[in-house]
Amino acid sequence: MSAGIGSAATRKVMDRLAGPGVAGSAVGALTDAGYDGATMRAQNAAAELTERAGAVTYPATAVYCEKVVNDFREKFRSFSGTVQMAIEVRHSQDRLEGLESALEAQTDAVTTALAASRGDWGDGMYYAGGYEVSFGRAGRGGKNFTQVAKVTFEIGVSRN
């Protein structure tokens, strides 16, 4: 049951990021900001592995479920708890200058899409609006230099 909930939550998040909305299209927002070719995938894999597995287009966004917690908040439900989700925004370019500001702009597009998606997501899922962003160090990879930002948040789930 929990594996299905994690996959369903991942699909919901991807729909929220890629779908139309007031400010609800992170991929569209990245394209509008001048980052053509932004890709999004449902996968929890290291950047080095995805680069070795095939061609990667940057900026890249990875969406995945980190943790499923069934704490039985509602007694008579088969699942009543939270799903911790993560969105990794990966940016790469040939110069170190401007790498961090470009990553911050892309991360802002993702958090704007999340903020516009507060509320009931259907299928017993809801998003209260909180999130946490952590920025990694710049390193080698991609188009010479790469940097990753990780946005984590919880989705409440209540299902029979």
Name the burial class of residue 29, with classes exposed (0-12), middle (13-18) and buried (19+) by CB atoms within 10 angstroms of its CB: buried
Between CA 114 and CA 160 the distance in angstroms is 26
**Per-residue pLDDT tens digits for 45-80:** 877 777 778 777 888 899 999 999 999 988 889 899
Specify the pLDDT at position 12. 93
Describe the crossing of helices 2-18 and 99-115 by its angle, rounded to 10 degrees: 110
Specify the pLDDT at position 28. 57
Structure tokens, 138: 């710049």
Residue 97 has pLDDT above 80, yes or no: yes
pLDDT band at 11 (very low <50, low <70, confident <90, very high): very high
For the chain, the structural domain boundaries read: 2-159
Specify the pLDDT at position 17. 85
Alpha carbon separation from 136 to 9, 35, 72, 89, 149 (Å, rounded): 25, 20, 35, 10, 6
Specify the pLDDT at position 124. 93
Which pTM does this prediction carry? 0.86
Residue 22 has pLDDT above 50, yes or no: no
Between CA 77 and CA 79 the distance in angstroms is 5
Residue 32 has pLDDT above 80, yes or no: no
Q: Is-contact 65 7, C-beta < 8 A? A: yes
Between CA 119 and CA 98 the distance in angstroms is 35
pLDDT band at 40 (very low <50, low <70, confident <90, very high): confident
Mean pLDDT estimate for the chain: 85
Alpha carbon separation from 34 to 30, 37, 44, 59, 84 (Å, rounded): 7, 9, 26, 11, 30
Instruction: Specify the amino acid at residue 34.
Output: G
Structure tokens, 108: 């802002």
Nearest Cα residue to 13 out of 153, 133, 140? 153
Residue 6 has pLDDT above 90, yes or no: yes
Structure tokens, 55: 């061609």
**Per-residue pLDDT tens digits for 106-157:** 999 899 989 989 999 999 999 999 999 999 999 988 778 999 999 999 999 9
Specify the pLDDT at position 24. 44
Residue 26 has pLDDT above 70, yes or no: no
Enter the DSSP assignment of 136: P
Residue 80: how many other CB atoms lie within 10 Å: 19
Domain 2-159 sits in CATH at 3.30.70.1700
